[in-house]
Chain A
């Protein structure tokens, strides 16, 4: 049958004689599909690499180069396929579907786990490239009896380039913004496996396809599952969750520490929550520290609860009156990281390694109960009360212990979430400090990374207006300091419950107010 087409430029393919006409159509469509898929995987790898590793020019360049070279290797290897080209082609499709489909999800999940991410990345690029390189030569050989050679080359390459165009337009305009990288991978894996299954169904009458079909169905199922669970995968692979390239990620016994960098902007995330951005952390930390130190006549002993990044300590140590700082942070890995990692230690001016600094790694909830010291200033900088375990650190019982540690003339402050987003939660901190027998006073500052942010100052005597600020601050001046104590009506004080160990009112109102804000 094939002979009647008058194609004379190759030996007769024994397998192709009985092929139904539909096969040619499916094969030509599959050229379009595999071309699109091939380019999508290449773009995914390039984008992912620049996203995760930074320096997009280098990443794209090396990924594309490696990928094209691997395709060449695949084309070369195609000569070793001597029989049953169509069967091999189907298997190649199934493999590409599995590897390409899972590539984005896999790389995201792998990133925090593997020692050298580049090995995983380029290994995958090479594997997919080799397989994609096999596709076109095999297709040309399969189709060689259906078309004149002139038409065949023209047809295949036309569809190949159209596929490339489709991919390169879809990828930045639709796929990444709408589907995201993880879903894109799965969707195109599905296209590959669909080609394989369509071919297998056509071939069913002529050769044994049972095992291949089973394999294709398994891959199909895994891709559908992946597509359905893409959100979950996204959550697992928090790397995909951050907007910036991740330069450090580590799970400690207590939390997930992630540091990202884009240009000059370094950010710290704990359990996915932004702790600071180097662009504006000075605003936050000046507002946390100086209103307190500026109200204490002689702050010799300072206690910092939380604040394992050492940034608050950096501000405190600028004050020559401070003789000694005690910093209590739960996570030793956190304080070691910010003490020993040069980039990070530069951010906090080496505060954690200072001779005036004592770092205690322990649970502050337990520590304050057995502590015996007297402190002139206490800075409480815990993560937001997103869960009950953190909510305990904002309770009346906790503040009673803290009040016991505060010198009669001392002043303390508490980072207390946003008075704009969560006014009830914000003022709960003041109510609670007052219930613990202290006089509280709220103030707030604008920190672009966080928005309008609140602090609550408290002392045994009502904290006054007079404040002494050192020279050289970037955010606080006498005028801007005074302005922080002014609350416009939308943030003004309102009735708020006392947060107690046995009601955890703050955790509940915090979840409610931020839930409403986040929609």
Chain B
């Protein structure tokens, strides 16, 4: 007998877990060692409040200043190096570069603090593929298609989902589905496959990654006029199992509920990926114990001599048509400094760029989703009924987004200690309220939430948790809400011309490594053109 899972039933568990995230559950009384970290809010807020002394002395001359050392800024710097261009500095607010792709390490393993994988890039992601080749992640070619290093592709089993008390392979529940659930699921994925293959009147793919390559055909752009949930309702996609899965996907990629993201972004999640690789590896992911920390680590090593960490850029302004002045506070020296550059690449989220260079930005509606990431060190591997441990482990009954296993790639051995990276998008509440909550909640409370969620998924981990390190991202991801494609702030920043350029994934509206990389490379090439430096475009 298969009972139809109702939407209420599917959401009940999730709601309980969600409530748990906001109220304080009391099941786990044990406390754990650990740290509470996050982007340096004090430094960030000083930028907001412009609480810095005026720069003294001579301005340093440099051709290009890259303001921000996240994935976009590092990509811009990598692009300059790739073109043999050396006359630039990269200013980073934090102690280390890497942005959301930063990673941590303890005695057991390296682990991600945020972004943790890169899907095999699309054919159109040329610059990114060029970089991956340089990093030895693409090791050759077969029938014209790139061959990826098997050690860096996610090893099987990739995913498992906890559904009705037992683990199943994949992310979509496979058993106990009502006939209508199955029919809707099949129809949904059929429609998404059509979108994936669709080409607009302008000859461009309907949904591309990088996003900039997408068609502007109104047929597709109109999807940006409504929410994903609204679109799903209209198309008759009401199956509770399907909707719960789609909710997971929206929160996983955008940190935002289907009720809030645009239908364009929702469809993009399923229709944008056409990974290009030999050996049928197109639908796989590249991942490492430290997540995308591997990518930013390799970029950071290449551009290291140009990096000035602990520098808060607090003002950037055009100086005539040919150059710009950048002011930054050097936290190590406790003094402000000034750079005169012929071009500035503002590789920071737009809401920060708008504070630093108000004259260069246009007001828009870009908003950001907060996330919490916890790294849980356990002395044995999780198990559970059903499918064996996967790299990514997700529960249909939890409001968290599950956990990935740091040692999945590097070891074969069965039991050892490992680090589980647990993700939670605070998408249920208003982002501002969630950020307030993040700022005030104590480490022990977070640890209790993480431990309760993890132990609900894997009761077998009772007694196995050794420490829980919690990392808070106040502005983890841009939220692709309806209208984001025509957001004036976004459009103005994309259209900016040297000397003031902008580079960040939020300009694509999609918080993806590919987008950050594209924006960084595009800005770097624009700056090189402005400076008259010869290069062959990678775009």
A389 vs B156: C-alpha distance when bound (angstroms)? 9
**Docked-complex contact B414 and A255, CB < 8 angstroms:** yes
**Docked-complex contact B155 and A504, CB < 8 angstroms:** yes
Select B151's contact among A387, A393, A501, A507, beta carbons within 8 Å: A501
Q: Say yes or no: is A324 at the interface (Cβ < 8 Å to chain B).
A: no
Given contacts A388-B155, A388-B157, A392-B155, contact A500 B415 (CB under 8 A): no
**Docked-complex contact A366 and B150, CB < 8 angstroms:** no
Beyond the given A389-B388, A502-B155, please list 11 additional residue pairs across the A-B interface where CB-CB is below 8 A: A364-B412, A365-B411, A366-B410, A388-B155, A388-B156, A390-B414, A396-B150, A397-B150, A500-B279, A501-B156, A504-B155
Q: Say yes or no: is B338 at the interface (Cβ < 8 Å to chain A).
A: no
**Docked-complex contact B415 and A253, CB < 8 angstroms:** yes
A340 vs B9: C-alpha distance when bound (angstroms)? 57
Contact with B along A481-507 (1 / 0, CB 8 A): 000000000000000000011111001
**Docked-complex contact A254 and B413, CB < 8 angstroms:** yes
What are 9 of the A-B contact pairs (CB < 8 Å)? A255-B415, A330-B413, A363-B411, A364-B412, A365-B411, A388-B155, A500-B150, A501-B155, A502-B154
Least Cβ distance of A453 to chain B in Å? Answer: 22
**Docked-complex contact A254 and B415, CB < 8 angstroms:** yes
Least Cβ distance of B280 to chain A in Å? Answer: 8
Q: Say yes or no: is B281 at the interface (Cβ < 8 Å to chain A).
A: yes
Select B412's contact among A255, A365, A500, A502, beta carbons within 8 Å: A365
A390 vs B157: C-alpha distance when bound (angstroms)? 12
Least Cβ distance of A95 to chain B in Å? Answer: 32
A503 vs B156: C-alpha distance when bound (angstroms)? 6
**Contact residues in B for A501 (Cβ distance below 8 Å):** 150-151, 153, 155-156
**Docked-complex contact A389 and B151, CB < 8 angstroms:** no
Interface members, chain A 305-356 (any B CB < 8 Å): 330
A510 vs B281: C-alpha distance when bound (angstroms)? 22
Q: Say yes or no: is B284 at the interface (Cβ < 8 Å to chain A).
A: yes
**Contact residues in A for B412 (Cβ distance below 8 Å):** 363-366, 389-390, 392-393
**Contact residues in B for A365 (Cβ distance below 8 Å):** 411-413
Q: Say yes or no: is B416 at the interface (Cβ < 8 Å to chain A).
A: yes
Contact with A along B125-163 (1 / 0, CB 8 A): 000000000000000000000000011011111000000
Least Cβ distance of A393 to chain B in Å? Answer: 5
A393 vs B413: C-alpha distance when bound (angstroms)? 10
Chain A residue at minimal CB-CB distance from B157: A388
**Contact residues in B for A387 (Cβ distance below 8 Å):** 388, 414
Select A502's contact among B281, B389, B411, beta carbons within 8 Å: B281
**Contact residues in A for B150 (Cβ distance below 8 Å):** 395-397, 500-502
**Docked-complex contact A253 and B154, CB < 8 angstroms:** no
A363 vs B416: C-alpha distance when bound (angstroms)? 10
A166 vs B69: C-alpha distance when bound (angstroms)? 83
**Contact residues in B for A392 (Cβ distance below 8 Å):** 155, 412
Contact with A along B369-412 (1 / 0, CB 8 A): 00000000000100000001100000000000000000000111
Interface members, chain A 27-52 (any B CB < 8 Å): none
Contact with B along A363-396 (1 / 0, CB 8 A): 1111000000000000000000001111111011
**Docked-complex contact B156 and A502, CB < 8 angstroms:** yes
**Contact residues in B for A255 (Cβ distance below 8 Å):** 414-415
> Chain A: residues with CB nearer than 8 A to chain B?
253-255, 330, 363-366, 387-393, 395-397, 500-504, 507
**Contact residues in A for B279 (Cβ distance below 8 Å):** 500
Given contacts A253-B416, A502-B284, contact A366 B411 (CB under 8 A): yes
9 smallest A-B Cβ distances: which pairs?
A365-B412, A504-B156, A363-B413, A392-B412, A501-B155, A502-B153, A397-B150, A501-B150, A389-B412
Chain A residue at minimal CB-CB distance from B416: A253
A380 vs B410: C-alpha distance when bound (angstroms)? 20
Interface size on B, residues (CB 8 A): 20
**Contact residues in A for B410 (Cβ distance below 8 Å):** 366
Chain A residue at minimal CB-CB distance from B381: A389
A391 vs B412: C-alpha distance when bound (angstroms)? 8
**Contact residues in B for A502 (Cβ distance below 8 Å):** 150, 153-156, 281, 284
Residue among B154, B380, B412 with the highest chain A CB neighbour number at 10 A: B412
Least Cβ distance of B244 to chain A in Å? Answer: 26
Least Cβ distance of A58 to chain B in Å? Answer: 38
**Contact residues in A for B284 (Cβ distance below 8 Å):** 502
Least Cβ distance of B412 to chain A in Å? Answer: 4
Given contacts A388-B388, A504-B156, A504-B157, contact A254 B151 (CB under 8 A): no
Least Cβ distance of A162 to chain B in Å? Answer: 45
**Contact residues in A for B153 (Cβ distance below 8 Å):** 501-502
Contact with A along B40-63 (1 / 0, CB 8 A): 000000000000000000000000
**Contact residues in A for B389 (Cβ distance below 8 Å):** 388
Chain B residue at minimal CB-CB distance from A392: B412
**Contact residues in B for A396 (Cβ distance below 8 Å):** 150
Interface members, chain B 178-230 (any A CB < 8 Å): none
A391 vs B389: C-alpha distance when bound (angstroms)? 13
Interface members, chain B 273-288 (any A CB < 8 Å): 279, 281, 284
Least Cβ distance of A307 to chain B in Å? Answer: 16
**Contact residues in B for A330 (Cβ distance below 8 Å):** 413-414
**Docked-complex contact A389 and B281, CB < 8 angstroms:** no
**Contact residues in B for A391 (Cβ distance below 8 Å):** 156
Least Cβ distance of A78 to chain B in Å? Answer: 45
**Docked-complex contact B151 and A397, CB < 8 angstroms:** yes
**Contact residues in A for B156 (Cβ distance below 8 Å):** 388, 391, 501-504, 507
**Contact residues in A for B388 (Cβ distance below 8 Å):** 387-389
**Docked-complex contact A254 and B155, CB < 8 angstroms:** no
A254 vs B380: C-alpha distance when bound (angstroms)? 9
Chain A residue at minimal CB-CB distance from B391: A388
A114 vs B139: C-alpha distance when bound (angstroms)? 54
**Docked-complex contact B154 and A389, CB < 8 angstroms:** no
**Contact residues in A for B380 (Cβ distance below 8 Å):** 253
A388 vs B412: C-alpha distance when bound (angstroms)? 8
A12 vs B414: C-alpha distance when bound (angstroms)? 70
Chain B residue at minimal CB-CB distance from A400: B150
Interface members, chain B 417-432 (any A CB < 8 Å): none
Interface members, chain B 81-122 (any A CB < 8 Å): none
A387 vs B279: C-alpha distance when bound (angstroms)? 23
A392 vs B408: C-alpha distance when bound (angstroms)? 11
A174 vs B13: C-alpha distance when bound (angstroms)? 46
Select A254's contact among B157, B281, B414, beta carbons within 8 Å: B414
A392 vs B156: C-alpha distance when bound (angstroms)? 9
**Contact residues in A for B413 (Cβ distance below 8 Å):** 254, 330, 363, 365, 389
Least Cβ distance of B388 to chain A in Å? Answer: 5
Contact with A along B306-318 (1 / 0, CB 8 A): 0000000000000
Residue among B151, B156, B415 with the highest chain A CB neighbour number at 10 A: B156
